[in-house]
Amino acid sequence: MKLEYEELLKDVGKMSPKPNMLDYGDIYQNFDWKEIEGQLKSLDDGKANMAYECIDKHLETELKDKLAFIWEGLDGAIEKYTFARFSEETNKFANLLKKHGIKKGDRVFVFLERVPELYVVFFGVLKIGAIIGPLFSAFGPEAVKDRLEDSGAKLLITSPNLKRKVKSILHELPDLHHLVIVNKRGGPVEYEDKDICYEKEMAEASTSFEIEPTNREDYSVMHYTSGTTGKPKGVVHAHQAIIGQYATAKYALDLKEDDIYWCTADPGWVTGTSYGMFGPWSNGVTQILYEGGFNASKWYQIIQDYKVTAWYTAPTAIRMLMKAGDELPGQYDLSRLRHICSVGEPLNPEAVVWGEKAMGLAFHDNWWQTETGAIMIANYAIQNIRPGSMGRPFPGIQADILDDQYNPVPAGEEGQLALKPGWPSMFRTYWNREDYYNSRFKNDWYITGDKAYKDEDGYFWFVGRADDVINTAGHLVGPFEVESVLIQHPAVAEAGVIGKPDPIVMEVVKAFVSLKEGYVQSEQLRREIRVFVKKKLAGWACPREIDFLDSLPKTRSGKIMRRLLKSRDLGLPDGDISTLED
C-alpha cells in the first residue's frame, strides 16, 4: 500500500465539542436520505425550493430576526441582513424579474462583485423558478460570452464597472434581453436600452412574493466547469440538491445554529454557492461575507473580529497563510474557532498539521466536485484526521476505485475514483450536452475524472487528475480554452497548454507556442501574450510561463500532444510516442 507521509500518519485533530455526527460507522450503515428530507420543509408532494429552504422557512421560527449574514466591503462598510430582511429583498427582486418577463426555466446570470446584492439577486432568481448562473467578477469578456451564449441567458445582473469590462461582447448575444445594473457605490452611470436600474426598480417593488412552486427536479443553479476538450460546460443542478447541501453542512462541516461561519470561496465557484449559501442558510447559520480576496492579516482579523467559529477555506489559501509565518496567527484572538475545513485541491499533510500548531485545530479536508453538488468524501469532526487523506464517503454515498474496465480494485491499488449515482445533489445534465453527460457514467458508476486509492480502513487518498484539466489555486482551467485564446493572438500560430506543478497554487498554467512567419520571440511579446489571455479569460488562466518552440509535437492526425509537452518540460520519460508525427 502506498502510504506516504508515514511519520505523519499518527492521527491528529482536536475533536469539536459534541459533533453533529456522533458515530460515523453507525450512521453510514443506517443512513436514509428520507430522514434528512424530514428535517427540511418544502419537500412534500415532490416539491422543493432552495430559496424557501434557505430563507423563508426561517420566518416561521425564532430565527426570523437572526442575522443571515454580516457583510464587510472592501472599503470597510458593514451591512447586516436578518433572515426577515433577506426575504423581503429577495421578494422584491423576484417581483422585478417578473415585471420584465423572466419565467421559470429562464437562465439568468449574475456578474457582480461580492456585494450583498449578489446574494439578493441570486435567491430572487430561485424564488421565481428561473436558473441562476453565477460568474466570477474576475472573468474577462471571452469567458463571460462563452457562458451566456451557451446557456442562452435572457438577463444579466452586473455593475457599471463590470459591464464596461465586457461591453465588447454584449451585442453578440441575441438571447440577452436585459441587463440589471447594480450601482452599489452610486457613481455616474449611463443606462442604455436594455438596462434596468436596480436601485430604482427595487425601491418600487413589492416586498411580497409567492415563491414559484418548483418541483424537486426543476433546474435551479448552473456552474460552468472546464474539461479536457472544448469550451466550459454548464453543470446543471436541481432544487432538491438542497437535501445534500443541508445534510453535508450539518454532518461534514459540522455546522450548528449558533455558529458564526465563514466560507472564503467566491460564489462564482460551486463552493461559494453550495457552502457559501445553501448549506449554511438551510441550517439557519449566520455567515460572514467578505468582499475582498486573500490577505493573511485581514483574514485573521476577520476570524477574530467576527468571532468566527466554523471556517471553510482552500489549500492554496492555507499554504499562503503558512508562508505568511507562524507568528502572525498568534497576534490575533482565534480562540472561538472550533472547526476548520478545506476543499478544492490536495491538502498536504504538512498543512493539516500546521493548522494544529498555528490555530490549535487541524484542517478537515473534504472532496467533491461541481458535478456532485455537495461534499462526497470527508474527514469528520467525530474522528481524528489522517493527514493527506480526503477522508471517508459521506453517509448515503458509495465511493470506490475502479480499473480501466470500470470494476472495483482492492484497497491500496490506484484507479479511477467513482461514485454510485443517485444522491440528491448530483448534477442533472451538462447544458445542451446530454451525450457528454452520459459519457460520464460507466458500468453504473459516475466516473469523477480523478485518480485515487483507498486504504484498508476505507479512507480515500487523492493521486491526481485522470485528464489534462489544470487545477490552479482550486480553479479548474481547461487547456483548450487557453489554447483557443492564445491562437487568437496575431503572433501565435499554434499553442499547447499544460499544468506545471507549483508548491503554493498546486499547478500554474504553462503555454508552449510557435510563432507565425515574421514574428520574433521576445520578452515583450511574451508579456503581451500573457496580458492578452488575462484580459479575455481571467488572471488565473493566464500562462505564468510561455516557451517559444519552432513547432509543437503533434499526433499524425494533427492533435497537439500535451502529454509530451508536459513530460519533456518536467524532464520525465516520453512514454508511448508511436502516434507522434514524423
340: alpha, beta or left, given left = phi > 0 and alpha = psi -120 to 50?
beta
Q: How far is the CB of 465 from ligand PRX (least distance, A)?
A: 5
Q: How far is the CB of 323 from ligand PRX (least distance, A)?
A: 20
Q: Does 390 bind ligand PRX (CB under 6 A)?
A: yes
Q: Does 431 bind ligand PRX (CB under 6 A)?
A: no
409: alpha, beta or left, given left = phi > 0 and alpha = psi -120 to 50?
beta
Stretch that binds ligand PRX, among 340-348, 490-498, 514-522, 534-542 (CB under 6 A): 340-348
From residue 192 to residue 231, what is the string marking binding to ligand PRX with x (rule CB under 6 A)? ---------------------------------x------
**Cα–Cα distance for residue pair 173/235, rounded to 1 Å:** 20
Q: Does 344 bind ligand PRX (CB under 6 A)?
A: yes
Stretch that binds ligand PRX, among 136-144, 296-304, 363-371, 537-545 (CB under 6 A): 363-371
Q: Does 370 bind ligand PRX (CB under 6 A)?
A: yes
Taking the least distance from each CB to ligand PRX, the nearer of 91 and 151 is 151
Among 276, 280, 346, 396, the residue binding ligand PRX under the rule CB under 6 A is 346
Among 98, 336, 420, 465, the residue binding ligand PRX under the rule CB under 6 A is 465
Q: Does 460 bind ligand PRX (CB under 6 A)?
A: no
Q: What is the DSSP letter of 283?
A: T
Taking the least distance from each CB to ligand PRX, the nearer of 102 and 537 is 537
Residues 6 or more apart from 305 whose CB is under 8 A from it?
none
Q: Are 308 and 336 in contact (CB under 8 A)?
A: yes
Give the count of beta carbons closer than 10 Å to the beta carbon of residue 449: 18
Residues 243-262 touching ligand PRX, rule: CB under 6 A, are: none
**Cα–Cα distance for residue pair 150/142, rounded to 1 Å:** 12
Residues 6 or more apart from 203 whose CB is under 8 A from it?
none
Could you tell me where the beta strands, DSSP code E, fall in 339-486?
Answer: 339-342, 363-367, 377-378, 392-393, 399-402, 415-419, 429-430, 441-442, 445-454, 460-465, 470-472, 475-477
Q: Does 368 bind ligand PRX (CB under 6 A)?
A: yes
Taking the least distance from each CB to ligand PRX, the nearer of 465 and 534 is 465
Strands across the sheet with 195-197, in order? Answer: 195-197, 178-181, 155-158, 107-111, 131-134, 219-225, 233-238, 429-430
Q: Does 271 bind ligand PRX (CB under 6 A)?
A: yes
Residues 6 or more apart from 17 whose CB is under 8 A from it?
338
Q: Does 367 bind ligand PRX (CB under 6 A)?
A: yes
Q: Does 476 bind ligand PRX (CB under 6 A)?
A: yes
What single letter denotes the amino acid at residue 40? L
Per 3-state DSSP, what percentage of the chain is helix, strand, and coil (rounded to 5)? 35, 25, 45
Q: Does 118 bind ligand PRX (CB under 6 A)?
A: no
Taking the least distance from each CB to ligand PRX, the nearer of 235 and 561 is 235
Helix-helix angle 160-170:141-151, to 10 degrees: 70
Q: Does 499 bind ligand PRX (CB under 6 A)?
A: no
Q: Does 450 bind ligand PRX (CB under 6 A)?
A: yes
Among 321, 343, 542, 546, the residue binding ligand PRX under the rule CB under 6 A is 343
- What the block records as the C-alpha cell of 422 is 443517485
Largest Cα span, the chain = 73
Taking the least distance from each CB to ligand PRX, the nearer of 159 and 271 is 271
Taking the least distance from each CB to ligand PRX, the nearer of 226 and 283 is 226
**Cα–Cα distance for residue pair 507/566, rounded to 1 Å:** 12
Among 88, 142, 365, 481, the residue binding ligand PRX under the rule CB under 6 A is 365
Q: How far is the CB of 335 from ligand PRX (least distance, A)?
A: 27
Q: Does 471 bind ligand PRX (CB under 6 A)?
A: yes
Q: Does 345 bind ligand PRX (CB under 6 A)?
A: yes
What single letter denotes the amino acid at residue 475? H
Output the residue with the shortest Cβ distance to ligand PRX. 370
Residues 6 or more apart from 335 whose CB is under 8 A from it?
none
Taking the least distance from each CB to ligand PRX, the nearer of 116 and 315 is 315
Stretch that binds ligand PRX, among 343-351, 381-389, 485-493, 537-545 (CB under 6 A): 343-351
Which string of DSSP letters, residue by residue, matches 178-198? EEEE--TT-------TTEEEH
Q: Are 498 and 469 in contact (CB under 8 A)?
A: no
Which one, of 323, 320, 360, 325, lies nearest residue 340 by Cα?
360
Q: How far is the CB of 446 from ligand PRX (least distance, A)?
A: 12
Q: How far is the CB of 355 from ligand PRX (least distance, A)?
A: 14
What single letter denotes the amino acid at residue 313? T
Q: Does 138 bind ligand PRX (CB under 6 A)?
A: no
Q: Are 209 and 94 in contact (CB under 8 A)?
A: yes
Stretch that binds ligand PRX, among 94-102, 126-134, 147-155, 366-374 (CB under 6 A): 366-374
Among 132, 157, 270, 359, the residue binding ligand PRX under the rule CB under 6 A is 270
Taking the least distance from each CB to ligand PRX, the nearer of 155 and 541 is 541
Q: How far is the CB of 147 from ligand PRX (least distance, A)?
A: 15
Q: How far is the CB of 371 from ligand PRX (least distance, A)?
A: 7
Q: For residue 288, which phi and psi values (nearest 5 degrees)?
A: -100, 130
Stretch that binds ligand PRX, among 195-203, 360-368, 492-500, 559-567 (CB under 6 A): 360-368
Chain residues binding ligand PRX by CB under 6 A are 225, 270-271, 343-346, 365-370, 390, 448-450, 462, 465, 471, 476
